[in-house]
Structure 1
Amino acid sequence: MLSSITTLRPEECRPVPDAGLGALSTERGNLPLESVDVTAAVSGLVAGVEVVQGFRNPHDVALEATYVFPLPDRAAVTAFRMEADGRVVEGVLKERGQARADYDRALAQGRRAAIAEEDRPDVFTIRVGNIVPGERVTVHLTLNQPLPYEDGAATFRFPLVVAPRYIPGAPLDGEQAGDGWAPDTDAVPDASRITPPVLLPGFPSPVRLSLAVSVDPAGLVLREMRSSLHVVQEEGTTVRLRPGERLDRDFILRLSFDASTSLALTPDGDEGTFALTVVPDPAQTAATPKDVVLVLDRSGSMSGWKMVAARRAAARIVDTLTSRDRFAVLSFDTVVEQPEGLGEGLSQASDRNRYRAVEHLTRLEARGGTEMLAPLERAAALLAGSAGDRVLVLVTDGQVGNEDQILKRLDARLRGVRVHTVGIDRAVNAGFLGRLAGLGGGRCELVESEDRLDEAMEHIHRRIGAPLVTDLSLKADGLDVIPETVSHVGSIYPGVPLTVLGRYRGAGGGALTVRGLDAAGQPWERRVTAKVAANPATRAIWARARLRALEDSYAIGDHSLEEKIVETSLRYGVLCRFTAFVAVDTRTVTEGGPEHRVIQPVELPSGWESPIVAAAPMMMAASAYGGAPAQMPAHIPRPAPARPPVAPPAGPPGLAPPGSVPAFGASGAGPGMAQEAAAGGFDDRARMLPRSAPVAPPLRQGTPKEPPREQLAEELARLRAAASLPDAERLLMLRDLGSRLAALAVHLGGHAELEALARELQGGGDVETLWRRAVEGLEALVRPAKRRPFWKR
């Protein structure tokens, strides 16, 4: 049996002329993912989708392929199967730790297996193991998703790429949770699972994409279909992509028709699921005074058209305010800034103050990292003392990894605040922005192009205004509703139907009455009679929404919910972060386990700028996985170089090898760090179970370089000699030092400590604080490095 993979000679791997820096090609290719086929059937306001991913092993030894990909954030994954060599293996939904153990045991025994896991509401990972040389394996995912409806149009959105996310926090010791380019940190303890390597610009499209959507209005009058971004062909009521499209942005289809108020019941045994839809009257509310804090993301990932669109969106929000309102504008990257002349608190929205705010917005350019928590905490503090209508608007692409940390820290502080999020990107982090808006009962608007901005801002303007009906409650008449299963009722806004899902007992029938207060404070109600509808997707969509609500409660600290989450997932057959689908073949196809592992690089999202200097630290990353050259966008803080693991002795099949170092698990995020100290990350039953390794993983290429201590000692001496200079000169000196440290880090192929210090010094701020930080940072870097424990060398 082979124990290693021979490196190709230079003449065997010629550069592809138009493939970008460092791209290589062989006759067999080097990426396992061949195709992604998406087939969707829209019926009214629900879509059923099947996703088929095709993998091929181009290598001479057995392969394990890993693919990190997105799905719609409200979609319910209900089935999974694997097909290979004429065999079909149905996936089984299990508690996540058990599913991983089954998968690892199968690989150690030489059997083919696949596992599907959820890492975020819209980020999933599939691993397919023991693909034999030259073999093709396909995996099938079945899902159902609701279509959001607003202003006479429903939207079918299908994401196709996981965009690079900003990863804050200090790196954790111990085994990493995944194989991505970012190390796990105390703020994002599974960062290595959500950061797949990125293809360099110009690399030939490695994956064949097909996508078709058939539309059945289900009794509604379909007036128009519109598609954004992707080139499409239309055949009757079926829309499909033309060949050659890349997986680098969301596919979006908007369907114009009139929704109607309804109460649909879907029975299943002794219980059933209800879906209540209430379409508001086309009335407008009287303007009421409000306090608004606008938070604008100006980090590096917002460069290009996104920064232009974000500035326009923010300026239009400011322009909608009246002199009766108060407001504040916060722009952020690694620091938080406010317009000059407006003060630190809320300012009256006078003509002069609004002009100052817009002038500040027009000067903003993208830069730095996405430190989102601090500005949101400041916004919550500004609104804390307000007695009126409180509104927070966040304009961002949402590309951060510490979603759970942000939600946990803001949950209590944003109660009573209406939070609206504006996501600007062609591969937006919709799952996180939807969850954040949900904290304050607000809305999430997604903007995928400048052409879409005007339409989206009209929606946002109405949302910032007062809702049509508040203080909503439900009263059942002849329908035995199970109270704890009912989704959040919220408020009714102009042009936005109210949708409530829940479960009921017994025979279907009766009615639900929605009650609340209108804008004038007068009682308002609407009674809706139930009708039975044969739509099994309703049950799965309700279960998915229920699981998301429970997982958000878990993320903000209620860890008693774990068993309830697992039980709900298994009972209704819907994938969540605590469970996984696993498919295991009974046939033995190879001896031992896979000898080569590849994580599929993903496209850089369309519209993202990619400076070549950002590629340097990642040039060798993909080769460690046998994949294509990869890189990391400039706004991402580059991790410490990969540490080549020492192969531990093999243990019993399916168990962690003896003496292996556990990853972030129930006992802690690393030596001496408790689970809850790491931002409420999920424990080993959810996503942090150490990856059992029946066979030794491949060694990563290259070892970290140590920084030149003599050069850093000279920088430190120069700082100490200049301690008495005026503040302005010292600040300029610190910025220059930051630029030199950044260049040194690139020269070294990435160095986390140097890069972190460089970002701080270039970001500006209080001179004394930065000066002290620079001296302490350089002192730490010039000390002799401690010898790492043998298991980390």
Structure 2
Amino acid sequence: MTVLISPLPETATPPAPDGGLGALSTDQGNLPLDSVDVQADITGLAARIRLVQGFRNPFDVPLEATYVFPLPDRAAVTALRMEAADRTVDGVLKERGQARQDYDAAIAAGRRAAIAEEDRPDVFGMRVGNILPGERVTITLTLTQPLPYETGDAGGAATFRFPLVVAPRYIPGAPLPGEQAGPGTAADTDAVPDASRISPPVLLPGFPNPVRLSVTVDVDPAGLPLTEIRSALHVVTEERAGDRVTVRLQPGERLNRDFLLRLVHAPHETSALSLVPDETGEEGTFSLTVLPAGEQRPRPRDVVLVLDRSGSMQGWKMVAARRAAARIADTLTGDDRFAVLSFDHVVERPRDLPAGLHPGTDRNRFRAVEHLAAVDARGGTEMLAPLAEAASLLTDAGRDRVLVLITDGQVGNEDQLLAELAPRLGGVRVHTVGIDRAVNAAFLRRLAGGGSCELVESEDRLDEAMEGVHRRIGAPLATGLSLHADGLRVDPETVAPRRLGSLFPGVPLVITGRYRGAPAGTLTVRGTTPSGTPWEQRAAAATAGNPALTALWARAHLRDLEDRYTVSGGDDLEKRIIDTSLRFSTLCRFTAFVAVDERTVTDGGAPHQVVQPVELPDGWAAPAAPMAAPMIAQSAPMPAPGAPPMAAYGGAVPRPAPAGRPRMGGAARGSMRAPSGGAPDFGGGPVPAPEPASPPKPAADEPRRRLAAELERLPRVPVADRAAHLVDVVLPLLESVAPALPGSSPLAALMADLQALRHTPQTDVTTLWDRTVQVLTDVTAPPAKRAFWKRPR
């Protein structure tokens, strides 16, 4: 077999003239993380991965190292192992609160310990404590990942994506009082109560490569006709042995962008039903793959195109986003209606195309493309208002309703957005296009739900990606899908995904779940074509010896349960999530892996704490001049008058360390020395700088006082006057106080709905009035603190 390795062009990076601010070193180095080793075995359309992180203590006192890192959002983390000196300790999966207590107790008692926690489906935190001076500790995580697969006219392609850096994210909301949840550079807020756990410091440009990165991928086609391997963003080498191919990353690369391989296959049939019995034989896991074929029959559509123009989209991403949006606008027909919204901290529309849907005429499409061509990056990522406005426009159930979001997804308030938007997007097909080399894929996939998520890592990839988007925003082959079992006892509460969505040509539908009894029978997927005729596809069961399927199902099922918890909460649902995670040994946001060495190695004093800085993502614009702050301000247009100040990428403003706790990155300047007596260490990260000046704004209590006064007046407004009062009184009030309450997503969404009320008088005013009362009540109430991994409810 001959396999062609075809790397995509590399983006040239100019050499740094010097080490840059913060580029300090000792004889043994000054950052705890010294290596990351990714070893992946791909068999068919699944990958088993070993991620090995090496931590070394360059100081003369015991060390606790913290590292915020990404993992594939669909991967199931099933094991952790800690190795130090001659000791090997296997981690135990426990309820998250209990795991943290065990870890803290071990550190206080002078024992080595490690804990791995999930903060987002693709963002994790690792803490390794009581590493002795000069000692090296390795942490090995084991995970299983499915490979997304899609077919075209020339065959199919599977994608192996392994993220390597957590990009800075926009953090909206009002700061919460009290101790922060983590040591990050962003303050916890009412919209993102764990912001300080997902905002590690960022290395300044020019910092010498602090981490040795190695990636090895062994590919076993497992009968699939593999014809080509495409390497995206990295240069790789390959070795062949029969049908197996080994791909290795070129040495010297940095952890600043996703690692991507695309495995191209010749056309083949992938529809199948696989059953994996448990050891008891009384139950097991099923995986059904349906690859539909057929022709789409177009029907009139309502399409809302939402384009992110925030500061993090600067550079090639903005160019690609404009091209993608224009390509979608050009596919519209005269039978379609559409709207185009571009947003940062404000929402803008094309000139001469005010709020509302407009026919897809040549003239209107030209106006939309003209608007898109002038869009540039600026400001913060206030995403809820444009998506809420889009949802308010897509209400005609007699037409195909399509929402397309083009963004890098770099926001921290994912749970808040999903909770607010889920009730409004019923019946709407959401398609997301993620543009970045370190994209927030987890959020974009969660938002898409039954729609699709297309990821674009370079302009070269854009045309190929847009072909998939065009297929999916067209008419589906079948909608209203449902699963039916014959002879196989399926537990309906375990089926993932919970919403089956729609079927599109060449886009496989993968359904997993649990069954009871004998491993035999058939499963049928049924739906309705656009013409109203029934559609179905049936698959007979075949027993498979692939235990990875159970872990992949557990991860998908836990993700569905966590999304339901985000929307509705509930102690029963929380207990179900924890029980499922522990039973199937799969990490989730309510559990954590903890490893504790029983041997005492220190006297129990508090270890020196260092948080590993991360790379600036490749393709993100460097600052015009060096800045001594973990989150680097970018060269972007100034916000409009009255808009919230936007410092750093996407608006995440650096904050000083809370009193009594060292700033992220380690001890204060000059307080530590290297074991060999080298240069003083500053904790490995950039030196803190004073907070940037912000424009004057009203006293913090004044906006809430005005909203509270209006809340008292609302009960006295006659029912007949409520619609006018919402538009003429409440909306102007919200618009006037919004700049002083940046990041209040419920307030922004309410404003969008009140603006829509101007154009749609038939809106249910009673429901909108009740919601206005509730939002004003929530905004004027003092914020409450909860465990950071639990959504306030």
- 1:456-471 matches, within 5 Å, as 456-471=465-480
Is 1:592 matched with 2:607? no
Q: Deviations over 1:18-76 (max 9, x none)?
A: 22134222222210000000000111111100000000000000000000000000000
Aligned-partner Cα distance in 2 for 1:296–1:524: 35
Which residue matches 2:575?
A: 563
What SS is found at the alignment partner of 1:223? strand
CA distance 1:352–1:45, change in 2 (3 Å):
same
Instruction: Flag the 1:221–1:131 CA change in 2: closer, same or farther, 3 A.
Output: same
Please say if 1:486 is aligned against 2:495: yes
Alpha-carbon distance in 1 for matches of 2:625, 2:430? 37
Q: Secondary structure at the match of 2:226?
A: coil
- Contact kept, 8 Å, 1:408 with 1:556, in 2: the verdict is yes
Q: 8 Å contact 2:202–2:632 — kept in the other structure?
A: no
Q: Distance in 1 between matches of 2:736 and 2:513?
A: 56
Alignment partners' CA distance in 1, 2:290 and 2:737: 56
Q: Does 1:186 align with 2:190?
A: yes
Gap change, CA 1:512 and 1:303, over 3 Å in 2: same
Deviation at 1:610, TM superposition (A): 2.2
Assess if the C-alpha contact under 8 Å between 2:38 and 2:51 holds in 1: yes
Q: Give me the TM-score of the superposition, normalised by structure 2.
A: 0.79
The residue aligned with 2:256 is 248
- Could you tell which deviates more after superposition, 558-567 or 244-253? 558-567
For 1:243, the aligned partner's letter is P
Match runs of 1:80-91 below 5 Å: 80-91=80-91
How far apart are the structure 1 equivalents of 2:734 and 2:481? 50
The alpha carbon displacement at 1:231 in A equals: 0.5
- The unaligned stretches of length 5 or more in structure 2 are 1-15, 634-645, 671-687, 700-731, 742-793
2:622 to 610, 613, 618: 610
> Equivalent residue of 2:650, what SS?
coil
Report the 3-state secondary structure (helix = DSSP H, G, I; strand = E; otherwise coil) of the residue aligned with 2:389. helix
Instruction: Choose 100-109 or 216-225, whichever is displaced more.
Output: 216-225
Counterpart contact for 1:164–1:632, Cα < 8 Å: no
Q: Secondary structure at the match of 1:400?
A: coil
Indicate the residue corresponding to 1:724 in structure 2: none
Query: What is the 5 A alignment of 1:392-411?
Result: 392-411=403-422
User: Structure 2 vs 1, CA of residues 279 and 565 (structure 1 numbering), >3 Å: closer, same or farther?
Assistant: same
The question of 1:451 aligning with 2:466 is answered: no
Deviations 1:347-402 (A, max 9, x none): 11100000000000000110011111111111111113563111000000000000
2-structure distance, mates of 1:49, 1:756: 52
2:691 aligned with 1:749, yes or no? yes
Contact 1:470–1:491 under 8 Å retained in 2: yes
Alignment deviations for residues 647-673 of structure 1 (CA, whole Å, 9 cap, x no partner): 9xxxxxxxxxxxxxxxxxxxxxxxxxx
Query: Partners of 2:302 and 2:738 in 1: how far apart?
Result: 39
Residue among 265, 276, 282 paired with 1:266: 276
Relative distance call for 1:491 and 1:750 in structure 2 (3 A) is same
Q: Secondary structure at the match of 1:567?
A: helix
| Aligned-residue offset at 1:487 | 1.6
CA positional deviation for 1:770: 11
Give the Cα–Cα distance (whole angstroms) in 2 for the partners of residues 646 and 183 of structure 1. Answer: 14
Secondary structure at the residue paired with 2:285?
strand
Q: Could you give the per-residue CA deviations for residues 673-698 of structure 1, whole angstroms, max 9, x where no partner exists?
A: xxxxxxxxxxxxxxxxxxxxxxx997
Counterpart mapping for 1:171-320 below 5 A: 171-236=175-240, 237-257=245-265, 258-268=268-278, 269=280, 270-281=282-293, 283-320=294-331
Match in the other structure for 2:656: 641
User: Partner residue of 1:164?
Assistant: 168
Q: What letter is aligned with 1:233?
A: T
Distance across 1 between alignment mates of 2:406 and 2:698: 25
Q: Distance in 2 between matches of 1:314 and 1:219?
A: 38
Distance (Å, rounded) in 2 between the aligned partners of 1:135 and 1:565: 37
Larger deviation, residues 636-645 vs 181-190: 636-645
Q: Per-residue deviation at 1:279?
A: 1.3
Q: How many corresponding residue pairs?
A: 651
Residue aligned with 1:358, SS: helix
Q: In 1, Cα distance between the equivalents of 2:34 and 2:665?
A: 24
CA contact (8 A) 1:153 1:254 kept: yes
CA distance in 2, matches of 1:201, 1:252: 23
Give the C-alpha shift of residue 475 in structure 1: 1.9
Compared with structure 1, are the counterparts of its residues 259 and 115 closer, same or farther at alpha carbon in structure 2 (3 Å cutoff)?
farther
1:753 deviates by: 7.3
Question: How far apart in 1 are the matches of 2:311 and 2:632?
Answer: 23
Residue 338 of structure 1 deviates from its aligned partner by: 0.2
Task: Please give the root-mean-square deviation of Cα atoms over the aligned residues, in Å.
Answer: 2.6
Give the SS at the match of 1:69. Answer: strand
Q: Equivalent residue for 1:419?
A: 430
Query: In structure 1, how many angstroms separate the alpha carbons of the residues matched to 2:336 and 2:466?
Result: 19
Separation in 2, partners of 1:103, 1:167: 29
**Matched letter for residue 469 of structure 1:** A
**Residue by residue, what CA displacement relative to the aligned partner does 1:624-648 show, whole Å, maximum 9, x if unpaired?**
xxxxxxx98443231443232279x
- Counterpart check, 1:499 vs 2:510: yes
**Correspondent of 1:477 among 486, 503, 506:** 486
C-alpha change, 1:614 and 1:520, in structure 2 (3 Å) is farther
Q: 1:752 to 1:195 in 2, by over 3 A?
A: farther
Residue 635 of structure 1 aligns to a residue whose secondary structure is helix
Contact 1:644 1:701 in 2 (8 A): no
What does residue 651 of structure 1 align with? Answer: none
> Equivalent residue of 1:399, what SS?
coil
Q: Distance in 1 between matches of 2:457 and 2:515?
A: 38
Give the Cα–Cα distance (whole angstroms) in 2 for the partners of residues 146 and 201 of structure 1. Answer: 34
CA contact (8 A) 1:645 1:699 kept: no
Give the aligned partner of residue 677 of structure 2.
none
Partner of 1:96: 96
Distance 1:633 1:154 in 2: 35
Using the alignment, how far apart are the partners of 2:148 and 2:166 within structure 1?
21
Structure 1 residue 457: deviation in Å? 0.3
For 1:389, the equivalent position in structure 2 comes to 400
Structure 1's 776 and 271: CA in aligned 2 closer, same or farther, altered over 3 A?
closer
Aligned partner letter, 2:255 = L
Query: Could you tell me how far 1:558 is from its partner in structure 2?
Result: 2.5
- Corresponding residue for residue 79 of structure 1: 79
What pairs up with 1:740-779 in 2 under 5 angstroms?
748-750=690-692
In 2, Cα distance between equivalents of 1:218 and 1:593: 53
Distance in 2, Cα, partners of 1:75 & 1:522: 37
- Structure 1's unaligned 5+ residue stretches are 1-15, 622-630, 648-695, 703-745, 758-767, 778-793
Task: Tell me by how many angstroms 1:98 deviates.
Answer: 0.3
1:556 partner SS: helix
Secondary structure of 1:426's counterpart equals coil
Q: Report SS of the residue matched to 1:615.
A: coil
Tell me which moved more, 461-470 or 450-459: 461-470
Could you tell me which residue of structure 1 aligns to residue 445 of structure 2? 434
Question: Do the aligned partners of residues 543 and 117 (structure 1) sit closer, same or farther apart at CA in structure 2, a change above 3 Å counting?
Answer: same
The structure-2 alpha-carbon separation of the partners of 1:315 and 1:698, relative to structure 1 and needing over 3 Å to count, comes to: closer
Q: Structure 1 residues 263 and 774, CA, compared in 2 at 3 Å: closer, same or farther?
A: closer
How far off its partner does 1:514 sit?
A: 1.9
Secondary structure at 2:94 match in 1: strand
Inter-partner Cα distance in structure 2 for 1:264 and 1:753: 60
Write the deviation string for residues 68-114 of structure 1: whole angstroms up to 9, x where unpaired.
Answer: 00000000000001000111000000000000000000000000000
Q: Is the CA contact (8 Å cut-off) linking 1:76 and 1:144 kept in structure 2?
A: yes
1:747 to 1:567, Cα distance in 2 relative to 1, 3 A? closer
Q: Which residue identity does 1:610 align to in structure 2?
A: A
Matched AA of 1:264: S
Q: CA deviation at 1:343?
A: 1.7
User: Distance in 2 between the 1:698 and 1:230 partners?
Assistant: 32
Partner of 2:568, secondary structure, is: coil
